[in-house]
Structure 1
């Protein structure tokens, strides 16, 4: 059946068809007709309007990281798209399924450099560089098919953001719109049985394999755990690989914890992971490398693998495990080795006692399945190598992109996705102020995120490097902060204050029990850097 709709209505209908009914964004003149359509569909959509486009991008990022499903960021073109660009770059680095839906100036003005409001040179070029899929909707009738193509792109192969431009005149135009259907599920991919056989043959002669996991393995925690138990292989997850194997499992290792095992490791198994920290920092040496990754361009990037399998872990791991079991391949029992490895790491990392004690309080407050969002701050750095994580998608990290200030707004998006789950953001005073005004968004939309703000009145990590590595040339790293209690409560959010881990525990419980967006400020001095464990 064909109906007449505006381009904005066609876009909204296509989003609804694909279940994309939570949108993080800001309205503006180029998107007026889109927001008119959101208004008419307000009983079916939740539009979280933010105070800055950066916040919209990071909230969409947090939403998809917490769920593994596509999210939507909507901004005006030009400065709006550029403001959200850091979040889009972070989504690209994290393999996140963000639909970046941006406006565009009228079609007849694109590329003419006439000074049209919000015109920038080659916006498509910018978007193409930060996404796996880019397109422009040039007629209302194209909306359904082009949104379906964007969703398909995000859900097939290596997941990464997709970008769609919709010029303002297209959003306003009324035209006949064909009936829309959701994109079909990706076809079941063929399994590389030959590659599995080669991997099994390599492991038949292995004595001490080691498994590395990252976000490509987030949806196969049971299979990874079974493979590890079968091979008696330690599993290393760093940043985006945390929680795939429960930290309480004897074979689960923090990255630096596994370093003493490296000399005896003879086979490296990278599952949806680059394993670059080890391969570049520790050296591959004479070890065999087995890779299973949906992206074939990764295979030779960090050392030539002996076996390279391109495909989804969901398809390949069950066969891999079955073949190992059928051939009776078992690893050397590490029942006596792993307790010593864990004890050694506990002793070596004890120098970070301050971070350990704060993280222990946070872990207790979050419970089994609470979501922790890290940040570029000393507690955030320490969490990557010290915080126990029990479930997939409950440790959200900026990954290699290292975008300071991402944590607080990203955690807001995670809380929108998981309203009944405890979500906690750790941040420093420097990073928090990047998006602190999103407290207004949190209060207005009832987003009950708890943020622990470690305040040392400096860009601490940079200042520490200036002191230690550059002869004390401290510049541009001291910070003048607001009175955070007055700042936080002025928005109507909950505020707490602690000066020790012991004081933090009750303040966290009060914050979670308040049901409000909450900030607990912890005034701290310098902390011992985690850099010694790189």
Structure 2
């Protein structure tokens, strides 16, 4: 198993050793020159770190946990990896092979762990004897990295982990390739040529198609919009980029929507309004997406390959430069979104302090929600999100994995107090392994979104929304971490610059008056156009 990891380019594994998989841990220890093992303080932390590693780098993120409660603790991160289309591999054990399915109540036993894993992943298998190890591990890599990338899992019974067998030849896992229908490309080119106001919507499936998307946008003079997973595919300071606020403004006159690697969440789930006569082209590696949301024309294939083919099919296409028009729409959007305070001012401060190539890891929080339209991003993968799971508490742990994958880049984790406490114990992991993430904790002593909804929708009947928090600065310092408290955007900018310059784990707490934040949801779920 360790050899297959190495052959497929894995050099880091996150996890917590346990009795069921001691032999796997020992195999990793014997190959410590090839694989770095980062042990965490919670299984969820290990899995989220693998997610952050994979999402920010495009390389496989691997973690190992004990079966039963370990797998269940890691389950939230597997949900996130599934929703975020991330190549994450879970390696776990199981009870003794002859006892599986008997319900004897063995240590860490689940009624059907493999079925549980198959419900959380794209592919899950059990290695039942040593002769299957190389083939099943290689097949898992193929499934994880082919077509729509998603997490996979391998389980091995307790007694099988320590068995020996002949060592097979091991090669890197092959990947499947989907051929693109040339007739569909020709039809798409015809539709584009007849459109007056096309829009390109990109999602996580287009992260490796940035150059091709931009070339297509320039060829047809279309804006490129994204929600969260597609942020940075076209840099936000490029004339063709539009955040979701500007895109909604433009969408009222859109006659052709080109979705590339996107579920089109904004247009069909959040905006809930389409212009009359709108035509839709979808480019997606997953053919089932064409059934979930049926387009006018579907093109199944790799985002970069399809976008390149469409641009080539449009050779000779002439479109009027619309940079000034797009800029005016972006300016209107920026002025409109300035009402979301204090979030926008704090996000501006973070953007000024964070290097252009730095990573921003959001959290399910008032700052995180606002960042989806209020934080400019300049390259793919630099904005790391939890995708449609929106699971509270993923942020700090994920950011640690981002930093492990990108040790020479600045990584900032932006949290609310509620979410940060889900993984605060991993400050110990950051200190022990020298993972130099700067965590910013905006402390409003509440689950802010829950509190606002209870105040506004449920006649101010509060239940479980207000929080009693620790002193976050003292807490971080107790781990040996540098920490300070600031209370203005200007002081946050200065503190963040200083923390990043030190290149060490750090925490900055920002107190925010409970209930004082302006709701960002007027832009995330806007009212329908007239």
Deviations 1:216-247 (A, max 9, x none): 00011111111111111111111101000000
Q: Is the 8 A contact 1:33 1:168 kept in 2?
A: no
SS state at 1:73 partner = strand
Matched with 1:209 is 198
Matched with 1:335 is 323
SS state at 1:264 partner = coil
Alpha-carbon shift at residue 384 of structure 1 (Å): 0.3
Q: Is the 8 A contact 1:217 1:272 kept in 2?
A: yes
Matched, 1:352 2:347: no
Q: Is the 8 A contact 1:96 1:161 kept in 2?
A: yes
Alpha-carbon distance in structure 1 between the residues aligned to 2:40 and 2:385 = 21
Matched with 1:99 is 89
Segment drifting more, 84-93 vs 479-488: 479-488
SS state at 2:229 partner = helix
Deviations 1:96-120 (A, max 9, x none): 1001111111110100000110001
For residue 291 of structure 1, the aligned residue among 282, 286, 290 is 282
Matched with 1:431 is 419
Alpha-carbon distance in structure 2 between the residues aligned to 1:433 and 1:32 = 30
Matched, 1:238 2:227: yes
Segment drifting more, 97-106 vs 33-42: 33-42
Q: 1:312/1:116 Cα in 2 relative to 1: closer, same or farther (>3 Å)?
A: same
Matched with 2:106 is 116
Segment drifting more, 357-366 vs 405-414: 357-366
Matched, 1:262 2:251: yes
Matched with 1:8 is none
Alpha-carbon shift at residue 255 of structure 1 (Å): 1.1
Q: How does 1:125-274 map to 2 (within 5 A)?
A: 125-184=115-174, 186=175, 189-274=178-263
Alpha-carbon shift at residue 187 of structure 1 (Å): 5.7
Unmatched segments (≥5 aa) in structure 2: 526-530
Deviations 1:492-525 (A, max 9, x none): 1110211000111121122112222111000111
Matched, 1:512 2:500: yes
Alpha-carbon distance in structure 1 between the residues aligned to 2:321 and 2:304 = 27
Alpha-carbon distance in structure 1 between the residues aligned to 2:463 and 2:268 = 35
Alpha-carbon shift at residue 125 of structure 1 (Å): 1.1
Q: Is the 8 A contact 1:101 1:165 kept in 2?
A: yes
Alpha-carbon distance in structure 2 between the residues aligned to 1:458 and 1:291 = 40
Q: Is the 8 A contact 1:365 1:505 kept in 2?
A: yes
SS state at 1:239 partner = coil
SS state at 1:177 partner = coil
For residue 502 of structure 1, the aligned residue among 490, 495, 499 is 490
SS state at 2:291 partner = coil
Matched with 1:72 is 62
Matched, 1:369 2:360: no
For residue 77 of structure 2, the aligned residue among 87, 106, 124 is 87
Deviations 1:306-355 (A, max 9, x none): 21111101222221101112xx2233432331122012112211101422
SS state at 2:299 partner = strand
Alpha-carbon distance in structure 2 between the residues aligned to 1:18 and 1:61 = 17
SS state at 2:234 partner = coil
Alpha-carbon distance in structure 2 between the residues aligned to 1:462 and 1:494 = 31
Matched with 2:399 is 411
Alpha-carbon shift at residue 16 of structure 1 (Å): 1.3
Alpha-carbon distance in structure 2 between the residues aligned to 1:529 and 1:472 = 16
Matched with 1:464 is 452
SS state at 2:501 partner = helix
State the number of aligned residues.
520
For residue 444 of structure 1, the aligned residue among 432, 438, 461 is 432
Q: Is the 8 A contact 2:90 2:152 kept in 1?
A: yes
Alpha-carbon distance in structure 1 between the residues aligned to 2:192 and 2:472 = 56
Alpha-carbon distance in structure 1 between the residues aligned to 2:473 and 2:501 = 18
SS state at 1:241 partner = coil
SS state at 2:402 partner = helix
Unmatched segments (≥5 aa) in structure 1: 1-10
Deviations 1:446-500 (A, max 9, x none): 0000011001111111111111111101111111111112210111111021100
For residue 21 of structure 2, the aligned residue among 28, 31, 35 is 31
Matched with 1:397 is 385
Matched with 2:528 is none
SS state at 1:99 partner = strand
Alpha-carbon distance in structure 1 between the residues aligned to 2:26 and 2:387 = 37
Alpha-carbon distance in structure 1 between the residues aligned to 2:178 and 2:331 = 43
Alpha-carbon distance in structure 2 between the residues aligned to 1:65 and 1:277 = 21
Segment drifting more, 188-197 vs 108-117: 188-197
Q: Is the 8 A contact 2:147 2:178 kept in 1?
A: no
Q: 1:226/1:428 Cα in 2 relative to 1: closer, same or farther (>3 Å)?
A: same
Alpha-carbon shift at residue 188 of structure 1 (Å): 5.1
SS state at 2:103 partner = coil
Matched with 1:483 is 471
Alpha-carbon distance in structure 2 between the residues aligned to 1:331 and 1:92 = 39
